[in-house]
Amino acid sequence: MKKLTILLTLLVSINVLAQTDQDALKTIYSQSLTNGKAYQWLDYLSNQIGGRLSGSVNAEKAVQYTKSELEKLGLDKVWLQEVMVPKWERGAKEVAHFTSNYNKFDVNICALGGSVATANSGLEATVIEVKSFEELAALGDKVKGKIVFFNGAMNPELIHTFEAYGGCSKQRYAGAYEAGKLGAVGVIVRSLNLRQDDLPHTGSMGYMDLPNEQRVPSAAISTNDANKLSEALKKDANLKFYFKQNCKQFEDVLSYNVIGQITGSEFPEEIMVVGGHLDSWDLGDGSHDDGAGVVQSMDVIRLLKESGIKPKRTIRVVLFMNEENGLRGGKKYAEEAKRNNENHVFALESDSGGFSPRGFSFDCSEAALNKVLSWESLFKPYLIHYFEKGYSGADIGPLKNDTIVLAGLRPDSQRYFDHHHAANDTFDAVNKRELELGAATMTSLVYLFDKYGTSNIPQVKEFKD
Amino acid sequence: MKKLTILLTLLVSINVLAQTDQDALKTIYSQSLTNGKAYQWLDYLSNQIGGRLSGSVNAEKAVQYTKSELEKLGLDKVWLQEVMVPKWERGAKEVAHFTSNYNKFDVNICALGGSVATANSGLEATVIEVKSFEELAALGDKVKGKIVFFNGAMNPELIHTFEAYGGCSKQRYAGAYEAGKLGAVGVIVRSLNLRQDDLPHTGSMGYMDLPNEQRVPSAAISTNDANKLSEALKKDANLKFYFKQNCKQFEDVLSYNVIGQITGSEFPEEIMVVGGHLDSWDLGDGSHDDGAGVVQSMDVIRLLKESGIKPKRTIRVVLFMNEENGLRGGKKYAEEAKRNNENHVFALESDSGGFSPRGFSFDCSEAALNKVLSWESLFKPYLIHYFEKGYSGADIGPLKNDTIVLAGLRPDSQRYFDHHHAANDTFDAVNKRELELGAATMTSLVYLFDKYGTSNIPQVKEFKD
C-alpha cells in the first residue's frame, strides 16, 4: 500500500509537472504572438539603423540601441564587453562587365568582405572557370595572369540548404587564397544562392598567410550573371572580364558585445546564454542575418519575465559583435568566461534567419539530447519537430567543453539563401509571426533547461522542482 | 528452423521494401528540386494570365493553357469536364472614406465576391461596430439604416492560422445576410489578415434567401483601416462612412474542370485524384491561392512519370473550376464520378499556399491513418512531420464516402493570410524550392498509397508488391 501511495504520488507529480510545462509554453507562445517586442526592435535595427558591419558607425549605433533597450527591461545587469574588431569598408559600388566579340555585357558583382581593391583603373584579364579546388589544382600554372572564376553551384537536391552552403562556401572563403598562390590576378565567385537572380551575395574571405603581392581582388557575381559568363566562356574562351572595386581594410577598432542578465534564484553560478550577432553585412540591412537572432534573443529574456518565470539559473542574452568577418565577439566572450571561471551550462544561438522555427540542432551529450527528446510532445502543438545532433552557432562555438549544451535554432531554411549577405536581406522579408514563433520556441527551450538543468539528473530528483 | 527462415525472409523483405521506398522518395524529391516544372507553369499562370475569377476570360485562358500543358506530358487521357459557373465582376475600383468633424479619411476597401454594387452615387451612412454575431443580434433594430462594421480580428494566438481564419470567416460570408435582415444598409468587414497592413482581402459572401431589398453592399476593409475606423468611432459615434462599389452578378457561364489521367496498370478501376483549383480571386494573380496547388498537382503526375513510377491505380490530376465562389467544379466532378459508378479510393488537394510543406491532414479511417503513420520515417529526411486527422480540401470534399482517403497538403501557414485573396497574392511571394518540395511531398504520398493501396490490407499481403 505504501508503495502504491508513492507510485500514485509520483504519477500525480508527473501529471502536475506536465500540465505546468504545457501551461508555461502556452503562456510563452501567446505572449510572443500577442505581446512580442522582437518585430518592433527589428524594425528599428533594420530601418532606423540598417546594415551593421563591424567597425562601422551603424554597428556602434546598434550597440547603443540594444543596450538601451535591454536597460528598459529591468534586468539584473546590463553591460558592454569590449572587443577589438576588424574594420573593412566597401567604398563606392563595384562595376563589372565582360567583353566578347566587341560586345560588352554588364554583370552584377560585389567585393567579398576582406578583399583588397582593384587598381583605380580596375582590373581586366581573361577568365578560367573552375567548379572545384581540384579543378584549380589541376590547372596549376595555367591560371597565371588570369581571373579565376569559381562557378560551383549550391546543390539544390539537399533539403537542408545550409548543407548546400557548406558544400561550396570554401570557394568564397579560400578561393582568392588558392588562386592567388598560383598566380591568378583576380577571383570571381558564384554567389552562394540557390535562386537564379541578379543579386551578388557578399561574405567573408581571407588571404591567410599570403604575401601582399599574391593578395588579389575577389568578388561575388550574381547567379544569373555567373550562368551568363559561363555560357559566354563556352563560345569565347578569350573573353575579357573587367571589374573595379574600391574596398579598404583599416586598423582594428574598439567595439562591444552587448550583454544583459537575469541572475538565477537558485543556481546563479550556472550560466545559460542565448544570443545572436549584432553585426551584419553592409549590402542589406541584416534583418535575417542576424537582426532576427538579436531581437529574438532579447525577447527570450523579456518573455521569461512577462510569462512570470523566475529562472533558477542565470540567463544571459549576449549580442555578439563581429560574427561575419572575424568572430571576435564570440571568441572574446568565451575568453572572458574562462578568465572569470564562469560555469556556462547552456548556450543557444539564433543565426539562421527569422523564418518559421522547425526545432533545434544540438551539440551536446547523448544524455542531454535524450532530455530534450523527452520534451518533444510539449513542442508538438507549436509544430516544432526537429531535435537533432548537429551544429549550434558560430558565436557560441568557443564556449564548447565536455559538459555544456550548445544549441542552434533551426528555422525553415528554404528562403534563407535567397537573402543571405545580399541587398535583399531586408525587413520586409521577415514575417512577424515567424519571428515571434522563433522567439517563443527559444524561450521555451531556455525555460525547460533552466527548470530541469542541463546535467543528467535522474528524473526522480526533478520532481522536487 | 523453418520459422526462423520465414522470419528472416520477412525481415529481408521489409528491408528491401523499405530501401525501395526510400529510393523512390529520394528520386521524387531530387527530380522536383532539379527538374521540376511547377514554378515555370506558375510563372505562366500568374504572369502571362493573371487572376482567374470564374467566368472570366483569364479563367478560360487558364483552362486552355493547363489542358495544353497536360497534353504535352504523354498521359493516357486529358479532357475537359463541363461545369456551369457563376460570373461576378468587380468593375471599377472601389472608393471609400469616412468623415468626422469635417475631416475626411480615405480607407482601402474592396467589394466582397458576390456583393451587389452601391448606387452610382455611392452609399453613406453612420456606422455600428460589432465584433460578433451575438453583438449584432443584441443590437436588433438599432442597426436599421446603418452600415454594420464587423471588426472581429483573427486570433493571433492560434498556431494554425487556418483555425484563426475559420474563427471569423463567417463575418465575411454571412455578415451581409445577418445585417441585411435587420435593416442595415451596408456592411464593412475587417479583412481576414493577421498582419496590420493596407490591403483589403476579398472573398465570397452570400445573401442566401434574402429578398432583393435586403441585399446590401458588402466590402472588406484593410486591417490598418479597420483599426483606424474603430478608433475614430470611439471618438465620434456619428461619423459618416461612404463607399462606392461597382460590382455586378451575371448569368452563369460555361467553364471546365481540366483533367489528366494515367490509367492504372493493375487496378485501373481504383481512382486516385490529386488536384487544386484553377480559378482565383481577381485582386492578385492567385499564385498561392491556388496557382500553387494547380501546378503542384500537374507536377505530381509528371514527377511520377519522370521518376520511373508506373502506377498500379489510376492517377488523375483534376484542376477544379470555381472553388472560390461556388464550388461548382468540385460538386460537378463528384456528381459525374457517382453517375459513372467510378470508384475513387483517394483524393489529395493542395489549396493552402505554395509554402514549405509540413505534412498532410487526413479525413479518413483510423486504419488508413495508421498506414500513413507507418510511412512517417520515409518522410523525415524531407522535414515532413505533420500527419493528423483534419480537413482535406473544399474541391475534393464532395467525394467523401465511408472508405475514401481524403487528404490536404499542409504547408507552413504563417504567411498565407498575408496574401490570401489580396492584391499581393502574386508570383514573387512564392519560393521556387518551397513550391517544389510541396509537389514532391504530394507525389510521395500518391506513390505510397498507389503502391500499398488505401484499404487496410494486412501487411503480409503487401510483401508481394
Q: What is the pLDDT of residues B179-221, one digit of tens each?
A: 999 999 999 999 999 999 999 999 999 999 999 999 999 999 9
The pLDDT score that the predictor gives to residue B7 is 54
State residue B460's pLDDT score. Answer: 37
Contacts of A29 in chain B (CB under 8 A): 157, 159
Interface test with B, best of A158, A433, A434, A435 (most B CBs within 10 A): A433
> What is A422-464 written as a DSSP string?
STT-SGGGS-HHHHHHHHHHHHHHHHHHHHH-SS---HHHHTT
> Which residues, including other chains, have CB under 8 Å from residue B197's CB and lie 6 or more apart?
B222, B223, B224, B418
Q: What is the pLDDT of residue B455?
A: 77
Report the pLDDT value the prediction gives residue B3, as an integer from 0 to 100: 56
CB-CB neighbors (< 8 A) of A386 in chain B: 383, 385
Least CB–CB distance from B195: residue in A381, A385, A432: A432
Q: Inspect the interface and report whether the beta carbons of A431 and B437 lie closer than 8 Å.
A: no
Rounded to two decimals, the pTM is 0.94
For residue A304, give the nearest of A439, A455, A463, A462 by alpha carbon. Answer: A439
Q: DSSP letter string over A286-351?
A: -IIIIIHHHHHHHHHHHHHHHTT---SEEEEEEEES-TTTT-HHHHHHHHHHHHTT-EEEEEEE--
CB B441 within 8 A of CB B382: yes
Q: Do β-strands A240-244 and A95-100 pair in parallel, antiparallel, or remain unpaired?
A: antiparallel
d(CA B145, CA A430): 43
Contact A170/B at CB under 8 A: no
Dist CA B113 CA B104 (whole Å)? 27
Write the ipTM: 0.94
Peptide bond into B290 cis (omega under 30): yes
User: Which residues, numbered 338 to 397 in chain B, qualify as contacts with chain A under a Cβ-Cβ cut-off of 8 Å?
Assistant: 356, 358, 381-383, 385-386
- Write out the three cell numbers for A111: 567585393
Helices A292-306/A432-452 angle, 10° precision = 60
In order along its 465 residues, chain A shows pLDDT tens digits of 455 555 555 554 454 555 699 999 999 999 999 999 999 999 999 999 999 999 999 999 999 999 999 999 999 999 999 999 999 999 999 999 999 999 999 999 999 999 999 999 999 999 999 999 999 999 999 999 999 999 999 999 999 999 999 999 999 999 999 999 999 999 999 999 999 999 999 999 999 999 999 999 999 999 999 999 999 999 999 999 999 999 999 999 999 999 999 999 999 999 999 999 999 999 999 999 999 999 999 999 999 999 999 999 999 999 999 999 999 999 999 999 999 999 999 999 999 999 999 999 999 999 999 999 999 999 999 999 999 999 999 999 999 999 999 999 999 999 999 999 999 999 999 999 999 999 999 999 999 999 999 875 443 334 433
Inter-chain CB proximity B157 and A385 less than 8 Å: no
Which of B29, B194, B432 is facing A433, going by the closest CB pair? B194
Cell of A200: 551578388
- Please give, rounded to a whole number of angstroms, the shortest distance from the CA of A384 to a CA of chain B: 9
Q: How many helices (H) and strands (E) does chain B have?
A: 14, 16
Catalytic residue among B69, B270, B306, B323: B323
Grid cell at residue A405: 549544451
pLDDT score, position A458: 40
Closest partner residue to A157 (CB to CB) among B33, B161, B414 is B33
Q: Hey, are the CB atoms on B412 and A356 less than 8 Å from each other?
A: yes
Is the C-alpha dihedral spanning A328, A330, A336, A339 positive or negative? negative
Known active-site residue B323: yes
Task: Determine the residue among B414, B415, B436 to mutate to test chain A binding: the one whose Cβ has the most chain A Cβ atoms within 10 Å.
Answer: B414
Cell 540548404, located at residue: A161
Q: Which domains does chain B have, with CATH numbers?
A: 25-84+252-462 (3.40.630.10), 91-249 (3.50.30.30)
Q: Please list the active-site residues of A.
A: 323
Distance CA(B189)–CA(B110), nearest Å, equals 10
Distance CA B391, CA A291 (A): 37
Verify whether the Cβ–Cβ distance B159 to A437 is below 8 Å.
yes
CA of A34 to nearest chain B CA: how many angstroms apart?
A: 6
Those residues whose C-beta lies under 8 Å from the C-beta of residue A368, and which sit 6 or more positions away, are A362, A405, A454, A455, A456
Q: What is the pLDDT of residue A462?
A: 41
Residue ranges of chain B with pLDDT lower than 70? 1-19, 456-465
CB contact under 8 A, B383 and A34: no
CA distance, residue B190 to nearest chain A CA (Å): 18
